[in-house]
């Protein structure tokens, strides 16, 4: 065997196995005092440092509702970490995370190849802004629809009134008949003035 070939292959494998990126989701209870939350976050991050992890990203999702109650909490604060670390340290870190006081749950996942890290807290904020503008657009369209409906109703009403006037029978009275009716009204003695 060639000595260069035998040493190059293990180094390459060691480099690949040396470090991986892991996604770690942490769930803290809500409501939790700010001081207690900071203490829990510092302890979690110190566990990462002890394991020799390098933080790639930290995405604070904030308060979210839970699908079911966990340790009496219906809501929780989510924090998603992406850490680059040695796979041999994962078990130790998982065990250390299990005993962090105040933490409800955690999960460690190896993202698939080609996974792109996206900060969902930022995309969520963008979505809220777009949703608001979409909501305003919907509201404006609804108001325009109502105004058009009112205008159409007024046009129909005017048309009905014109039709009703046109259809109403008009009595044609001659001048002679009008004169006779006036004379009759004037000649009656029952009228008191």
Residue 12: pLDDT band (50, 70, 90) is very low
Name the domain boundary from 81, 102, 117.
Answer: 117
Residues 40-99: tens digit of each pLDDT? 888 888 888 888 888 888 888 878 888 888 888 888 888 888 888 888 888 888 888 888
Q: Are residues 130 and 147 in the same domain?
A: yes
Q: Are residues 104 and 18 in the same domain?
A: yes
Q: Are residues 136 and 66 in the same domain?
A: no
Q: What is the reported pLDDT for 169?
A: 63
Report if residue 16 sits inside a domain.
yes
Is the confidence at residue 6, as pLDDT, over 70? no
Report if residue 131 sits inside a domain.
yes
Residues 109-130: tens digit of each pLDDT? 888 887 777 777 777 777 777 7
Residue 13: pLDDT band (50, 70, 90) is very low
Q: What is the reported pLDDT for 190?
A: 59
Q: Are residues 139 and 105 in the same domain?
A: no
CA 10, 13, 19: angle at the middle one, nearest 5? Answer: 135
Cα–Cα dist 40/42, whole Å: 5
Q: Which residue has the higher pLDDT, 189 or 112?
A: 112
Could you tell me which residues come within 8 angstroms of residue 95 by beta carbon, excluding any fewer than 6 positions away?
none
Report if residue 179 sits inside a domain.
no
Q: Are residues 99 and 31 in the same domain?
A: yes
Query: Which residue has tokens 């060639």?
Result: 2
Q: Which residue has the higher pLDDT, 44 or 137?
A: 44
Q: Are residues 93 and 140 in the same domain?
A: no
CATH number at residue 70: 3.30.70.60
Q: Are residues 123 and 106 in the same domain?
A: no
Q: Are residues 97 and 134 in the same domain?
A: no
pTM for the complete prediction?
0.53
Cα–Cα dist 54/42, whole Å: 15
Q: Are residues 31 and 92 in the same domain?
A: yes
Q: Work out how many domains the chain is built from and give that number.
A: 2
Q: Are residues 36 and 129 in the same domain?
A: no
Q: What is the reported pLDDT for 105?
A: 86
Q: Are residues 42 and 103 in the same domain?
A: yes
Report if residue 54 sits inside a domain.
yes
Cα–Cα dist 80/61, whole Å: 7
- Which structural domain range is residue 35 located in? 11-117
42-47 contacts, C-beta under 8 A, 24 or more apart: 43/100, 43/101, 44/79, 44/97, 44/100, 44/103, 47/93, 47/96, 47/97, 47/100
Q: What is the reported pLDDT for 103?
A: 84
Residues 139-174: tens digit of each pLDDT? 888 888 889 888 888 888 888 887 777 666 666 778
Q: Are residues 106 and 64 in the same domain?
A: yes
Report if residue 51 sits inside a domain.
yes
């Amino acid at each position: 065997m060639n000595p260069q070939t035998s040493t190059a292959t293990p180094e390459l494998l060691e480099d690949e196995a040396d470090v991986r990126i892991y996604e770690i989701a942490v769930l803290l209870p809500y409501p939790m005092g700010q001081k207690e939350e900071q203490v829990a976050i510092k302890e979690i991050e110190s566990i990462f440092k002890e394991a020799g992890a390098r933080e790639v990203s930290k995405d604070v999702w904030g308060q979210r509702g839970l699908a079911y109650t966990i340790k009496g909490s219906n809501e929780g604060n989510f924090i998603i970490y992406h850490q680059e670390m040695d796979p041999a340290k994962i078990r130790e870190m998982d065990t250390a995370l299990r005993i962090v006081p105040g933490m409800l749950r955690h999960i460690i996942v190896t993202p698939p190849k080609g996974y792109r890290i996206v900060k969902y807290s930022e995309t969520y904020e963008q979505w809220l802004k777009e949703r608001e503008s979409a909501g305003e657009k919907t509201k404006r369209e609804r108001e325009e629809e109502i105004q058009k409906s009112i205008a159409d109703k007024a046009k129909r009403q005017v048309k009905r009134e014109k039709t009703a006037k046109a259809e109403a029978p008009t009595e044609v009275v001659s001048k002679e008949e009008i004169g006779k009716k006036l004379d009759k009204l004037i000649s009656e003695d029952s009228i008191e003035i």
